[in-house]
Structure 1
C-alpha cells in the first residue's frame, strides 16, 4: 500500500442554454443550488410564443376545416386531384408549424437535465438572451472522481491491465474513508512533475461534503513491490529530474567536497516536504536548493542539510 495526494474532480459539467430567444423573467435557482431532474432553472417570457402557438393553431384549424369541405368536392369530381393534393400539403405544413410553435413555447422553460448543481449562473433576470447562449454551467454531483498523480518510477512497474484499488479520505476526516474504483490512466506525462495521472471513481454514495477541487489523501494497493517502506523527508526544492525522467537528489560527499546524483522514488509530497526512498542513509547530506545549477561532481560547500 502507498499513500498519495489526490484531488476531487467533477466528471460532468454541462453547459445549459435556452433553445429560444427572449427576455428572462425568472431565475429559480442560485449558484451552487442543488436541483432535481426536470426542476425549473429559469424561464423566458412566454407571451410571444403563446401568441405564436395560437396563430399556428388557428391556421391549422382553418386549413383542416377547408380540407374537409374540399374533400367532398374532390370525391364528386369537381375539385382536381392536383388542387386537393396541394391543399393536403398545406395542412401538413400548418400542422408542422403548430408543432414547432408548441415546442418553442415548451422551450421557454429551462429545466435540469439530471440531478445536479448549478455551478455558475451566466445570466441575470430581465436579460435578453439568444438561442444557444450559455446561461448556466451545470454539474452532475452524483459522479465525482479522484485524480492522482503517480511518479514515473511507479507507473513503469504497473501493467496496463493492472486492477488498482484503494481508499481516499479528507485530511480532516481520516476516520471516514471511502472506496475508489479505478477508471483510467493517462498515457501522457505531466512534464512539471514527471508523473502520470490516474482517475478513480467514488465507489458508492458518500455522506461527506465532497466538492470539486478538494484535496484528499489516497491509499492505493499497487502490489507487494510498492508496499510502504521507510523513507526520508527532504525539501521539495532538493528534487530535480534526470535526463531519463527519474527524480534524483544530489548527495554531498564530505571527503571530496563533491555532489553525486542519487535516483529516488517520491512516495509523497506534503507542503514543502517530500518523502523519498532510494539509496540513502541516515546522516547523508543533500543539496537543498538551487538544484538546477548542480552537475555531477560539482564541488560545493556543506550547509548540513540532512535527510530525516
Structure 2
C-alpha cells in the first residue's frame, strides 16, 4: 500500500474555511433570534374629544295647549255662527249668538220689577219714619228691592250669555252646531284648540326618564318636515299615568313663540331629539376598547411612545354603564390615546403602529 504525503497547508486552509462558515451561520441564527417583531397596526382614539352630551331621538306629535268644547250658559236658538273650521281666532272674538229677544224681555221685566220695589220701599220707609207703619214692613220692602236688583243683574248676565266669545287665541277645530239649531244650556257648539302656546308630546321610556331625572335638565329640539329648524323646546309637564305594558311617560314640550309657524298645526308629526345631561365622572369609550382579564379586572390599552416607536400599555380602569348602553371609564390620564378595538390581542409592551386606512403609521 502506497502512502501519499499530506499537504498540511491545504488541510489547514480547508479547516479554517469550514470553521468560518459555521461561525457565520451561528451569528445569522442568533441575529434572527434577537430580531424585534414588526409592530401591530391598531386603530386608536382619544377619549373625551367628542364626549358631548348623549342624545336620543323620539317621535312626537304637535298638540294644542288645551282642547275645549264651548257652549252657551243659557238655552235658545242660534242665529249667528261665524265659525270656519281651521280658522285662527283671536281672544275675544264672537263665535256664535242666540236669539236675544227673550232675554231682552226678561231684562225689561226685571227693570220694571226693580222700579216697583224701589217705590214700595220708599213709601214703607217714609211711613215707618212717621210711625204710621211698622219698621218691620219697611225692612221687608227693602229686602224685596234688593232681591229685585239681584234679578236684574241675573237677567242682564243671561242676556250677555247669548254671545259665545273665544276665551283665548285658538284654532276652530270643529263646528258642532248649526245656525237655527235650538240648543240647551251646556250643549257644545264649537271645539277650540288653545294656540296661546303650542306643545309637542313625546313618549319617554321609564328607564330613560329615570336616567334624566329632572327633565328640565335635558335639552330638547324638534324637526318638522317643511319647517326650517330645528325648533328649540322647553319642558312643561309630564303625565304620571303610564300604559300597563309600555311603561312610558308622556312629556309635554313647548315651542317658543318665535318659532310658531302659521301651518304648525296640532296633529303634525315631529322628530324630537333629547340631549341628556352629561355624566359627572369618567369618559365615554366604545365597548370594544375595554379588556377584561381574570378576576373581573378591566383594562384599557394605551398607546405610548418608546423612543422612536410605540408600545401598548395596559391601564386599569373602573367601568360604568350609567344609561345601559354607553360605556364610561375612570382612571385614564388626560389626553390618553387608546386602542379602540382589538386590545385583548395585545400584551403589555407589544410594539404597535397607528392604523390609518390601508397605511399603518408609526412614530
Quick check: TM above 0.5? yes
- The answer for the alignment partner of 1:42 in structure 2 is 96
Distance 2:139 2:74 in 1: 33
Distance 1:45 1:152 in 2: 54
Instruction: Kindly report which structure 2 residues correspond to 1:177-188, keeping only aligned pairs within 5 A, or say none.
Output: 177-188=230-241
SS in 1 for 2:257: coil
Instruction: Determine if the alignment matches structure 1 residue 89 to structure 2 residue 143.
Output: yes
CA, structure 1 residues 165+78, in 2 after alignment: closer, same or farther (shift >3 Å)? same
SS in 1 for 2:158: helix
Distance 1:100 1:189 in 2: 45
Distance 2:215 2:232 in 1: 20
- The answer for the alignment partner of 2:44 in structure 1 is none
- Cα deviation, residue 157, structure 1: 2.5
Distance 2:241 2:131 in 1: 76
Distance 1:187 1:46 in 2: 46
Scaled by the length of structure 1, the TM-score of the pair is 0.68
Instruction: Determine if the alignment matches structure 1 residue 8 to structure 2 residue 62.
Output: yes
CA, structure 1 residues 71+160, in 2 after alignment: closer, same or farther (shift >3 Å)? same
1:187–1:196 CA contact under 8 A, matched in 2: yes
Higher relative helix content: 2
- The answer for the alignment partner of 2:166 in structure 1 is 112
Unaligned runs of 5+ in 2: 1-54, 287-323, 326-363
SS in 1 for 2:211: coil
Q: Which residue of 205, 214, 219 corresponds with 2:258?
A: 205
- The answer for the alignment partner of 2:18 in structure 1 is none
- Cα deviation, residue 63, structure 1: 1.8
- Cα deviation, residue 185, structure 1: 3.3
Instruction: Determine if the alignment matches structure 1 residue 150 to structure 2 residue 197.
Output: no
- Cα deviation, residue 132, structure 1: 1.1
1:190–1:197 CA contact under 8 A, matched in 2: no
Instruction: Determine if the alignment matches structure 1 residue 130 to structure 2 residue 189.
Output: no
- The answer for the alignment partner of 2:122 in structure 1 is 68
Distance 1:28 1:92 in 2: 39
- Cα deviation, residue 176, structure 1: 2.4
- Cα deviation, residue 189, structure 1: 4.3
- Cα deviation, residue 88, structure 1: 1.1
Please provide the CA RMSD for this pair: 2.6
Instruction: Determine if the alignment matches structure 1 residue 220 to structure 2 residue 220.
Output: no
- The answer for the alignment partner of 1:21 in structure 2 is 75
SS in 2 for 1:89: helix
Distance 2:285 2:273 in 1: 14
SS in 2 for 1:157: helix
- The answer for the alignment partner of 2:290 in structure 1 is none
Compare 18-27 and 161-170 and name the one that shifted more: 161-170
2:217–2:277 CA contact under 8 A, matched in 1: no
CA shift digits 1:180-237 (9 cap, x unpaired):
0122334454456564432211133324221111111112211346x9999xxxxxxx
2:209–2:215 CA contact under 8 A, matched in 1: no
1:2–1:228 CA contact under 8 A, matched in 2: no
Compare 138-147 and 195-204 and name the one that shifted more: 195-204
